Amino acid sequence: MNLNQTPLSKFEDDVTRNEAILSKWMKEADWHWFRYPFLAEGETAEKRAAFRDFLAQHGYKIAAVTMSFADYEWNEPYARCKTKNDDNAIKLLEDSYLKAADQSADYYRNLSRSLFGHDIPYVLLMHIGAFDAEMLPKLLELYRSKGFQFVTLQDAEHDEFYRAAIDPRLSAGTDSLEGAAIERHLSLPSPPAPAVQLNNICR
């Protein structure tokens, strides 16, 4: 659900309904993390504050996002190309996917270093999809080649940058590097341009 498009009570009921299965399968692990679907936190200040109160009452922390390259956009083109057995187009998708991830990592690293003089622990947003699954080994290899190491969400968001963002009991702070730059009245660098027009592939 998109909180900006859903009544608060219905959205909260959906969260509550999911807790039983999360508790069953996660057992003693720390599963009380909430990432806003579509990164939508509510279309009004009142709704945003009310849902943060709900999260606090239910013991949730907020999973902020500080790195993303819209990986989900490759899944539909991949399904089309796979259906057509178009190996050349699939290779184009693979190359453009890795290029987008590479450029995005550089973009966020440069933004973090401009803001703080160093890399913060980044939280990478990804989605479940057939192409994501296919590309995951190469994607992990790419990130490791750029010097990234992988840690738990808890370890990453222990960094001071995330303190106000993750604790719903506090007034909402910025939960993105772009937001931090805007707060400091810094000019945002141009985001990387897409390498291919994904909607046009294998039509």
Total structural domains in the chain?
2
d(CA 195, CA 13): 41
pLDDT tens over the chain, length 203 residues: 999 999 999 999 999 999 999 999 998 899 999 999 999 999 999 999 999 999 999 999 999 999 999 999 999 999 999 999 999 999 999 999 999 999 999 999 999 999 999 999 999 999 999 999 999 999 999 999 999 999 999 999 999 999 888 899 988 778 899 999 999 998 888 888 877 899 999 99
Residues 117 and 28 in one domain: no
The pLDDT assigned to 166 comes to 86
Both 159 and 196 in a single domain?
A: no
User: What is the per-residue pLDDT for 192?
Assistant: 83
176 and 192 within one domain: no
The residues pairing with 61 across neighbouring beta strands, listed in sequence order, are 33
Number of H helices, E strands in the chain: 8, 4
Q: Say if residue 104 is in the same domain as residue 119.
A: yes
Taking the C-alpha atoms of residue 40 and residue 151, their distance in angstroms, rounded to an integer, is: 25
What pLDDT shows up at residue 189?
83
Rounded Cα–Cα distance for residues 77 and 203 (Å):
8
Q: Which pLDDT tens digit goes with each residue over 150-201?
A: 999 999 999 999 988 889 998 877 889 999 999 999 888 888 887 789 999 9
Separation CA 151–CA 139 (nearest Å): 16
Closest by CA position to 125, among listed 95, 156, 167, 96: 156
Q: Could you tell me if 140 and 162 lie in one domain?
A: no
Q: Give the pLDDT score at 102.
A: 97
Cβ(66)–Cβ(179) under 8 Å? no
Same domain, 125 and 162: no
Structural domain boundaries, residue 8: 3-65+154-183
**pLDDT reported for residue 19:** 95
Instruction: Supply the pLDDT for residue 42.
Output: 95
Residues 105 and 190 in one domain: yes
